[in-house]
Amino acid sequence: MPAEDAATVPPYTVFASLYDRVMADIEYDEWAEFILTEATARGWAGGCILDLACGTGNSAAPLLKRGYGVTGVDASPHMLEQARQKFPDGEWLQGSFTDFSAGRRFGLVQCVFDALNNLLDPRDFSAAARRVREHLEPGGVFIFDVNTSYGLENLWDGEIIQEWLGSDWYGWKHSWDGDTRIATVEAAFLTGGRTYLEVHRERAYDQEELTRLLGEAGFVRVDLIQFPWGDRAEPDAPRLWVAAVRD
């Protein structure tokens, strides 16, 4: 794990430049097909899509390839820089979960790869849900995935991952706090002859809480489902997919 002289930097500062190599095996195409199918089943008829927490643009890429207009929003300027370089056909905006503004409404908003788990306070989750609702057309669909308490405790606690990427190296150390329901990832990176440390945290969100928070935010239908078939989520699902329809 990181050397004592590692420079501590905000999340997704150094990680942004290594992100695509670290996440090379993620099934973005399958996620896109799943989201489009589930959104269509809930009344979405096509049109432009808002990709919240778009990162380096990989989650938007399958949608762009299918001809959809995509507006991506992310809080990290480093991640957005990568997205703009790779996918100039997309619209890329900087903004946080709770204060972003795209200036228009969409029929579909997606947010993938447990990005909403980064909201460590349920009040922030509620604020984000309300902001999404403001960006949805009436009857619009919000689809996202989150890690549950079961998932963060059983898949992350005590886990250590490390790998060389050519001349660059990364190492992740996971831990779980059951009292706060927060998982911590100490992410170390060795690149350009220097070592950096980013601390990432995720709060678990479980089924009853998600249903309540989204209902309070103005979503009239909240379906908790599983990838890849869209069947109803099991009570002990480690990861939930949520399809919420606004009023």
Q: In this predicted model, what pLDDT tens digit does every residue of 139-155 receive, in sequence order?
A: 999 999 999 999 999 87
Positions of the chain with pLDDT lower than 50, given as ranges: 1
| One domain, residues 116 and 198 | no
Q: Domain containing 193 — which CATH number?
A: 2.20.25.110
CA–CA separation, 99 vs 95, rounded Å? 6
Q: What is the mean pLDDT of the chain?
A: 96
Burial code of 88-101, b = ≥16 C-beta within 10 A, e = fewer?
Answer: eebbbbebbbbebe
DSSP string, 19-74: HHHHTTT--HHHHHHHHHHHHHHTT-----EEEET-TTTTTTHHHHHTT--EEEEE
What is the pLDDT at residue 4?
63
Q: Domain containing 120 — which CATH number?
A: 3.40.50.150
What is the pLDDT at residue 80?
98
Both tokens of 131, joined, read 């902001």
Could you give the number of structural domains in the chain? 2
pTM as predicted = 0.96
What is the pLDDT at residue 119?
98
What is the pLDDT at residue 3?
54
| One domain, residues 169 and 54 | no
